[in-house]
Each structure stands twice: as structure tokens, then as C-alpha cells.
Amino acid sequence: MDSVEKGAATSVSNPRGRPSRGRPPKLQRNSRGGQGRGVEKPPHMAALILARGGSKGIPLKNIKHLAGVPLIGWVLRAALDSGVFQSVWVSTDHDEIENVAKQFGAQVHRRSSEASKDSSTSLDAIIEFLNYHNEVDIIGNIQATSPCLHPTDLQKVAEMIREEGYDSVFSVVRRHQFRWGEIQKGVREMTEPLNLNPAKRPRRQDWDGELYENGSFYFAKRHLIEMGYLQGGKMAYYEMRAEHSVDIDVDIDWPIAEQRVLRFGYFGKEKLKEIKLFVCNIDGCFTNGHIYVSGDQKEIISYDVKDAIGISLLKKSGIEVRLISERACSKQTLSSLKLDCKMEVNVPDKLAVVDEWRKEMGLCWKEVAYLGNEVSDEECLKKAGLSGVPADACAAAQKAVGYICKCSGGRGALREFAEHIFLLMEKIVNSCQK
């Protein structure tokens, strides 16, 4: 269970340098009145994710794919599914980030160049947003680089603000780390313990540890932000589970982050089901889409051995594998691959064929995984319980899926998606055991 502890205080501190120290730009006051005969509208709580395009470390980090999903998509999914926000916004200065935000269902505030500088603070961007949105009473500033955030965390914090009267709530994580004073030449020649007695070092289980801000979110009421603060007034922290406290800016590199997200991330409202049928488009997924014609007019295609192994692994795990194509592929060429899969070619309506396969096997769509790359795959991708596309899939197909491969079609995408399925199936098994 999530542990939630509250510590009220009247002092104000800056979260990891996020609020600016000086006098903030002047905000326009919220002049909303009651609706009809003195009835007030409930406070408008808005989620705001700040996603500037000019990341210094990793170019366009906020939309770089993490476990097949744009990084910002993980927190947007959690914010939207929490159901506690009247609006969910992304503040950005970049067209590609805007497109991804809208794809996930968020609204977009185009940040000014003044609030997009390297020297601009989060508070500068929040104040600019509020100046354009007089209807907003409470801001939930969610960090785009916290991909293991869950809706339940946001729901509990919203309750603390709305029901328990807190003016600001921020996320923390408990750490069991001993701290020592820094040695500085000419100032301090010896280190000293800061939070322990070396003569009586406590065991981990005998020590409660300490609370650290993890930067996942900062909630604050409008009047606080008007004074230039994100933390203050009646103030509390919300303790997140350690496994959900992932900050890609600070803690871990990308590959490790992917493993953490696959194990502890939030994948949506509907529970994952065990996959029983895997369907793959032939052209552009199993193959790279190139067709070669020999001198005697025979069709030659190219595929990656890794993808053939991926099919074999799926079958060994008990998953039925079938291939499909809208093109009149040469069955002789396909049979020569010896994949031992049912194939259907020259298919004008892929959705109808896959739906028939599903019904034959007595499956629901949540038990179907689909790998496609074209407009003709779009409906199947939307219906399938797990959907993926190669890195070079068309834009329409990419918008319809939950997983975008790093590999291109015919270059390992099928094997990559198969491994993604295996990881998610392991997640289902682990959750059942718990």
C-alpha cells in the first residue's frame, strides 16, 4: 500500500531549485464569481506538465520513447486516468512535443520564448500559464521525467488539497542513506557525520530513514503561486513508494529506466490479459517492405533471422502466431521460409479477418497482440490488447498504438515486440502471485 504522511508547516522552501527566488512576474487575479444564486463552482484543478524542447542532455528527451511510449506519455496517461483534473495541459515551445501531447489527449499551452530560456524556472512557466487561464485555481505541476507515476498517487494528493484543506503538497521518497560533510581545502579538512553516530551505526530495519523530494509533482493553490511559491501555507508531503520514484533526470540511465517502467509503470485502466494470438503484417513488419524480382519474374523478399526466432519463441510460449497481408504475396515464397504459421494474403479488410480468427479461438480482443505498420492496420491496432509498430511505420499507425519499436520493419521489430509481450506477461504473472 502507498504510505501517505502529512507534515503541516508555515515555512516555505524551494523544491530542488524549481521556484525562482526573486519577485515573480505579476499574475492576473482570478475573478471568477459564483454561478447563479450564490452557488460556487468547485475549484478548477489543472495538471500542468512542463516540456521544453531544448533539453541539454538528451535531445527532445520528453518525447523520446521509453519502453515503446514517448516519455511524457507515461505521466499524461496517469494524469488523465486519475480523473481528478478538470483539465490536463502540456506547456511547450516545440511542435513535435505539442503533437505527442495532443495524441495522448492533453491540451497544449504554447510557451513564450521568454519562458523557454535555459535560465527560465518552472515557476516562470507556471505563472505564464496561469496568466492565460484565469479559470484555474489549483496547479498540479507533474514532472515529465517521472514515468512510474500512478493515478492513485494523484488521487490521494487531490483529496489532501480538496478535502483536508492543504495549500500545497509535494512528493517525497524515503531513503536510508548516511550523509557526510564535504571536505573543502582551507575550510574543512575532515569529514563529519551529518545524520548518524558512527559509534552506533543503526541497522536499516532499525532506522526510519529520511524523506527527500523526488520531484514527481508539486501541487499548489493559485494564491501561493501568486506570491511566488510552489510550497507554503498549510503544507504537506506525499510519500511515494520507492519503486515508483523514478527520475530519469537524476537517478538512472535509459535502459535501466525501461526495465523499471516495464515492472512498476502504469499501463492503463484496463488490466492486461494474457496474450493468446499474435498477428503480424507481412510487408513492412516481418519484412522490410522491399520486394525483389528475379530474372524469371519470381518474387524475392528479405527478412531478419531475429524475427523468425521471435516467431519461434512466441509459439514455444503457447501463443498462436499468424501473418497477414493486403498484398497478393507469393505463397510459394512465404512457405519456403518454413515459419509454420497460418498466413492470409490479398486481404482487403484485415479487421474482419483478424476478428474471425479471434472468434474461432474464443478470444476477446484483449488477448490479441497485433504488429502493423500501415493505414490498413490502424483498426486492428486500436482493437488489440497489445499493439505495436516498427520504428518506420506510417504516422497513422504510430498514433494508434501503445508500443513503438526501436527497430524498423524487417530489422528486428517483430523480435523486439515479442520480448515486450514476454515482459508484460511476466508482469501479469507477478501481479497474480501478489
Catalytic amino acids? 201
Q: Which of 214, 218, 244, 246 is nearest to 232 (CA)?
A: 218
Residue type, 211: L
φ/ψ of residue 349, rounded to 5 = -130, 95
Three cell numbers written together for 250: 537524476
Q: Checking DSSP bridges between strand 386-389 and strand 368-371, what pairing results, if any?
A: parallel
Between CA 365 and CA 114 the distance in angstroms is 48
Q: Which long-range contacts (CB under 8 A, 24 or more apart) does 359-362 make?
A: 361/276, 361/277, 361/320
Q: Which of 169, 193, 168, 191 is nearest to 179 (CA)?
A: 193
CB atoms within 10 A of CB 399: 17
Cα torsion through 378, 94, 121, 181, rounded to 10: 60
Between CA 371 and CA 282 the distance in angstroms is 9
φ/ψ of residue 410, rounded to 5 = 70, 10
The secondary element (H helix, E strand) that includes residue 174 is strand 168-175
DSSP state string for 27-86: PPP-----BTTTBPPPP-EEEEEE--S--SSSTTGGGSEETTEEHHHHHHHHHHHH---S
CB atoms within 10 A of CB 263: 14
φ/ψ of residue 114, rounded to 5 = -65, -35
Three cell numbers written together for 154: 494523484
φ/ψ of residue 65, rounded to 5 = -75, 125
Three cell numbers written together for 2: 502507498
Between CA 227 and CA 408 the distance in angstroms is 50
